[in-house]
């Protein structure tokens, strides 16, 4: 099965073209092509997955040469590199994408660009799968950029509203800033290791063929790409705005594609990062800062999707920080579990919004009775996110906390930093999860009962929810402690990590429960009645409301100061230089034309022509008197002429 | 008989022809004067052929051609004169000087 793994990205990419060209003529407007393609990919992906876990020590790599360049026989390949990491990603991406597409048949029903939407979903999934399968950095970059383009298209899907198209642009441009770093990282690695092939680069690095400084720079540059794609501080600003897209797209972006691409990049290039402690520390610190900041932001959002968006940033930061402290398996395991429960939460939020026609939690409340399936699955997803035993999030999150603790105990101060940040985040996560569920499903209804009649969503929407809820419960059992940890055998970097610490897990669970209790107390039971805006913590509330002033900083500190003077300089150049040149050219041309008309054409050319004509006329007038009409005079002239000629010839001999 | 005499005769004839062409007012007489000039030329052709002892008789042959052409020319000329006479009841050259501005 692994030999045909290349089919996995090919199916959706093919589907993209088929939908674009034939989708509108299909009976179901193209969604059958997308769903069929991704289902086929999923079948292949499962086959690859099971074959891979049966031979988990083998890496299966095949490639063909795409093109050659340069003198030294350098080349770029199209290839596949299949190991446990890639196999797990295949399953996650294909499954979530399939569920999202099924869900969208109902959610996007009657959308104006339904066919185009499915085409973009296929492109999105195909690009992500191409990124996952790639055995070299160029192919990976192509998938990476494809994901960026597709996300831009999908976030701006309803581009009729300015805010939506701006959100698409923001996502595209912000991630592009990181992509510049990624590209330079590729160049540095190519220059240092002489190849784009990831396995080759890794082996060169492992054999010490690359200087430490170069390696650190390469790793940090690559990580810039990951910061952009995975929305880590300081490039996290695009992700909340990306909520402008359709909700199933958000689920796809947050669970399986796009944002995990950054984490995947670091995991895939872990050989490079691992060899540079400085780079790893940077990764860990960025992750630790991001997870706390984003979790704080998630606490104060009113928009249910924004809560989930900040939650995603926070959870991605968990994965990033885990990679930073060397907990490779834990990080990938968190990708695996997070994909299920985050997709579940997004699709659940979409289901709720479908019912009340709003994403604001101020318009929800008390929905648990009207939407039982959505409610139950949503609670399961929320508890999994909060990391409550025995749901999926518990196992992966505690693996990460354990990993950080190990690193800290080994004497790393960065390890302590990550460890404390992870514990704080676990608490905050539980708090905002409790708030979210309380505001959405409990309390009094806050929607307008005159116009809004909440109802359970159709089957096409609830079946994916139920399946995802199943995964949110059971997917964590792949990472049970000790010998039962199957996942650690499949996906690992170096030795198998067995990091289970009962006391630590108990402590983090207590933290999570107290977070839940706090959130529940404040937002459901109203036992603690505080108006945050007037409390002593008001400054902090304001800080969160303003998103730590990051957006203000970027707009007022970068976009406006840069854009303003540039615009003014461009305007000045336009008015004073370009227009002056053009005006001068225009005036000069008019003057020249006038001169040519008046002096040259009228005077010289016309004068010449008229003069000739008048001259001819005058000559004719003068000569016409010679024409007497008397033939004898003409004959006399003839004879006189002949006589003259004869005389001349006679005299000259 | 010296050639000079013959040439004097032909010159005389030619001169008479020129006079007739330039001075006469009657168109028929003008045409006749032209015939005199042509015949002067014929005499010259014949006498120079004798003088040069040419055995090919080119001069005589040329004289025959000129006589033929002259007949044709006179035919055309007289036809024109008759038409003028029919239209204008005159053959005076002075009165048909119409081809002027």
**Residue A137, SS3?**
helix
CA separation for the pair A386, B26 (Å, rounded): 141
Q: How far is B48 from chain A (nearest CA, A)?
A: 19
Contact B99 A627 (CB under 8 A): yes
Euclidean distance between CA atoms A381 and A365, whole angstroms: 18
Please give the pLDDT value at position A530: 53
Q: Find the residue in A nearest to B100 (Cα).
A: A629
Residues of chain B contacting A639 with CB distance shorter than 8 Å = 18, 22
Which residues of chain A are within 8 Å of residue B98 when distances are taken between CB atoms?
629
Q: Look at residue A537 in the predicted model and tell me its pLDDT.
A: 66
First to last CA, chain A: 118
- Count other Cβ atoms within 10 Å, centred on residue A10: 19
What whole-number distance in Å separates Cα of residue A270 and Cα of residue A275? 8
pLDDT reading at B39 higher than 90: yes
Closest CA to A353 of A306, A314, A393, A312: A306
Residue A497 and residue A327 in contact, taking contact as beta carbons nearer than 8 Å: yes
Contact A627 B97 (CB under 8 A): no
B18, B30, B97: residue with CB nearest A629: B97
Residue A158 and residue A424: Cα distance in Å, rounded?
Answer: 37
Show me where the domains of chain B are located: 3-88
Would you tell me which residues 46-85 of chain B have a C-beta closer than 8 angstroms to some C-beta of chain A?
A: none
Contact of A630 with chain B, judged by CB distance below 8 Å, is answered with yes
Q: Which residues of A touch B22 (CB under 8 A)?
A: 632, 635-636, 639
Residue of A nearest to B22 (CA): A632
DSSP state of A77: E
DSSP string, A47-67: HHHHHHHHTTT--EEEEEEEE
* CA distances, A522 to each of A147, A445, A547 (Å): 40, 17, 22
- Per-residue pLDDT of B47-81, as tens digits, reads 988 888 777 888 899 999 999 999 999 999 999 99
Shortest CA distance from B31: residue in chain A? A632
Q: Does A621 touch chain B (CB under 8 A)?
A: no
Chain B contact for A639 (CB, 8 A cutoff): yes
Task: State the pLDDT at residue A516.
Answer: 86
What residues of chain A lie within 8 A of the CB of B30, using their CB? 632
Identity of the residue in B21, B23, B99 whose CB atom sits nearest the CB atom of A629: B99
Q: What pLDDT is attached to residue B12?
A: 94
Task: Report chain B residues whose CB lies below 8 A from the CB of A635.
Answer: 21-22
**Polymer length of chain A:** 653
In this predicted complex, what is the ipTM?
A: 0.86
Best to test chain B binding among A629, A639, A640 (most B CBs inside 10 Å): A629
Triad A144, A146, A152: Cα angle to 5° = 105
Residues of chain B neighbouring A631 (CB-CB closer than 8 A):
93, 97
Strand partners, A136: A197
Nearest to B22 among A627, A629, A636 (CB): A636
Contact A146, A126 (CB under 8 A): yes
- pTM for the model stands at 0.73
Is A627 at the interface with chain B, CB within 8 A?
yes
Strands (E), chain B: none
The CA distance from A498 to A327, in Å, is: 10
**Partner residue opposite A630 with nearest CB, options B18, B21, B93:** B93
The span from the CA of A293 to the CA of A314, in Å, is: 8
Express each pLDDT in A125-173 by its tens digit.
999 999 999 988 999 999 999 999 999 999 888 888 888 888 888 888 8
Instruction: Mutation target for B interface from A630, A633, A637, A642: give the one with most B CBs within 10 A.
Output: A630
Q: How far apart are CA A62 and CA A83, in angstroms?
A: 12
In this structure, what are the phi and psi dihedrals at residue A538, rounded to the nearest 5 degrees? -55, -40
Output the six-digit token pair for B89. 């009841």
Report yes or no: B4 at the A interface, CB cutoff 8 Å: no
Structure tokens at B87: 């239209």
pLDDT block averages, 10 residues each, chain A of length 653: 87 92 84 91 92 84 84 82 90 92 87 89 93 91 91 89 87 88 91 87 87 89 90 84 86 83 91 88 91 87 87 91 89 91 90 84 80 90 88 87 86 87 91 88 79 80 90 86 74 69 83 85 61 63 70 71 79 86 92 91 90 93 86 90 94 85
* A624, A627, A635 member nearest B21 (Cβ): A635
At residue A534, the pLDDT reads 61
| Phi-psi region at A444: left, alpha or beta (left = phi > 0; alpha = psi -120 to 50) | beta
Instruction: Kindly list the residues from chain A whose CB atom is less than 8 angstroms away from the CB atom of residue B97.
Output: 628-631
Encode pLDDT of A283-320 as tens digits: 999 999 999 888 888 888 888 888 899 999 999 999 99
Count Cβ neighbours within 10 Å for each residue of A553-578 and write b for 16 or more, e otherwise.
ebeeeeeeeeeeeeeeeeeeeeeeee
**CB-based contacts of A182: which residues, under 8 Å, 6+ apart?**
A141, A144, A221, A222, A224, A225, A226, A228, A265
The CATH number fitting domain B3-88, selected from 1.10.287.3510, 3.30.390.10, 2.40.30.10, 1.10.10.10: 1.10.287.3510
CA distance B22 to chain A (A): 5
Q: What letter does residue A118 receive in the DSSP assignment?
A: H
Q: Are A284 and A417 in contact (CB under 8 A)?
A: yes
How many angstroms separate the CA of residue A628 from the nearest CA in chain B? Answer: 6
Residue B96 in this model has a pLDDT that exceeds 80? yes
What distance in Å separates the CA atoms of residue A497 and residue A206, rounded to the nearest whole number?
20
A572 in contact with B at a CB cutoff of 8 Å?
A: no
- What sign for the dihedral angle of Cα A524, A528, A529, A533? negative
Q: Residues of B numbered 7-36 whose beta carbons fall under 8 angstroms of chain A's beta carbons: which are they?
A: 18, 21-23, 30
For residue A635, give the nearest of B22, B97, B98 by CB distance.
Answer: B22
């Amino acid at each position: 099965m692994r030999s045909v793994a290349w089919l996995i990205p090919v199916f959706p990419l093919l589907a993209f073209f088929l939908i674009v060209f034939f989708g509108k003529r299909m009976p179901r407007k193209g969604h059958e092509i997308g769903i069929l393609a991704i289902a086929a990919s999923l079948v292949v992906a499962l086959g690859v997955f099971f074959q891979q876990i049966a031979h988990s020590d083998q890496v299966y790599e095949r490639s063909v040469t795409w093109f050659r360049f340069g003198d030294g026989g350098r080349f770029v390949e199209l290839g596949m590199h299949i190991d446990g990491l890639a196999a797990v990603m295949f399953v996650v991406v294909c499954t979530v994408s399939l569920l999202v597409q099924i869900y969208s048949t109902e959610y996007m029903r009657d959308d104006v660009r339904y066919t185009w939407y499915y085409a973009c979903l296929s492109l999105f999934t195909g690009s992500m799968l191409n990124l996952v399968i790639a055995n070299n950095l160029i192919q990976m970059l192509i998938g990476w950029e494809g994901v960026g383009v597709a996300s831009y298209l999908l976030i701006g899907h309803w581009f009729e509203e300015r805010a939506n198209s701006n959100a698409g642009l923001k996502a595209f441009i912000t991630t592009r800033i990181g992509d510049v770093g990624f590209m330079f990282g590729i160049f540095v690695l190519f220059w240092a290791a002489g190849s784009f092939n990831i396995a080759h680069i890794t082996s060169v690095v492992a054999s010490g063929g690359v200087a430490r400084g170069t390696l650190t720079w390469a790793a940090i540059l690559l990580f810039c790409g990951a910061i952009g794609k995975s929305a880590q501080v300081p490039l996290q600003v695009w992700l909340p705005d990306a909520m402008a897209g359709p909700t199933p797209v958000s689920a796809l972006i947050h669970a399986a594609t796009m944002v995990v691409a950054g984490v995947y990049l670091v995991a895939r290039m872990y050989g490079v990062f691992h060899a540079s402690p400085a780079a790893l520390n940077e990764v860990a610190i960025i992750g630790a800062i991001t997870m706390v900041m984003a979790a704080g932001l998630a606490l104060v959002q009113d928009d249910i999707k924004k809560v989930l968006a900040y939650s995603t940033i926070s959870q991605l930061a968990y994965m990033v920080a885990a990679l930073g402290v060397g907990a490779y398996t834990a990080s990938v395991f968190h990708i695996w579990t997070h994909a299920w429960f985050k997709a579940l939460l997004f699709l659940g939020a979409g289901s709720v919004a479908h019912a009340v026609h709003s994403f604001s939690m101020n318009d929800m409340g008390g929905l648990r009775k009207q939407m039982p399936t959505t409610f139950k699955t949503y609670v399961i997803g929320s508890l999994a996110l909060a990391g409550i035993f025995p749901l999926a999030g518990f196992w992966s999150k505690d693996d990460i906390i354990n990993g950080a603790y190990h690193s800290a105990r080994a004497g790393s101060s960065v390890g302590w930093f990550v460890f404390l940040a992870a514990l704080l985040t676990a608490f905050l996560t539980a708090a905002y999860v409790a708030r979210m569920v309380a505001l959405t499903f409990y309390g009094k209804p806050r929607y307008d009962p005159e116009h809004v009649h909440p109802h359970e969503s159709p089957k096409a929407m609830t079946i994916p929810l139920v399946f995802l809820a199943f995964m949110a419960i059971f997917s964590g059992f792949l990472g049970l402690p000790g010998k039962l940890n199957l996942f650690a055998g499949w996906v690992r970097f170096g030795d198998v990590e067995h990091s289970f610490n009962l006391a630590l897990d108990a402590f983090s669970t207590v933290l999570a429960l107290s977070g839940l209790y706090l959130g529940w107390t404040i937002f459901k039971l109203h036992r603690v009645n505080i108006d945050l805006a007037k409390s002593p913590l008001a400054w902090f509330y304001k800080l969160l409301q303003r998103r730590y002033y990051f957006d203000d900083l970027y707009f007022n500190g970068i976009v406006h100061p840069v854009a303003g003077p540039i615009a003014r300089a461009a305007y000045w150049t336009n008015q004073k230089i370009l227009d002056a040149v053009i005006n001068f050219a225009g005036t000069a041309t008019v003057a020249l034309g006038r001169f040519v008309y008046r002096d040259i054409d009228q005077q010289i050319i016309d004068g010449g022509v008229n003069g000739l004509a008048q001259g001819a006329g005058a000559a004719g007038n003068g000569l016409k008197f010679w024409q007497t009409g008397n033939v004898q005079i003409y004959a006399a002239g003839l004879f006189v002429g002949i006589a003259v000629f004869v005389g001349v010839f006679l005299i000259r001999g | 008989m010296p050639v000079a005499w013959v040439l004097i005769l032909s010159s005389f004839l030619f001169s008479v022809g020129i006079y007739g062409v330039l001075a006469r007012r009657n168109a028929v007489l003008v045409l006749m004067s032209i015939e005199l000039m042509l015949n002067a030329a014929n005499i010259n052709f014949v006498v120079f052929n004798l003088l040069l002892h040419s055995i090919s008789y080119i001069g005589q042959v040329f004289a025959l051609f000129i006589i033929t052409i002259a007949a044709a020319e006179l035919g055309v000329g007289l036809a024109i004169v008759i038409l003028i006479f029919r239209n204008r009841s005159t053959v005076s050259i002075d009165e048909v000087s119409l081809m002027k501005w």
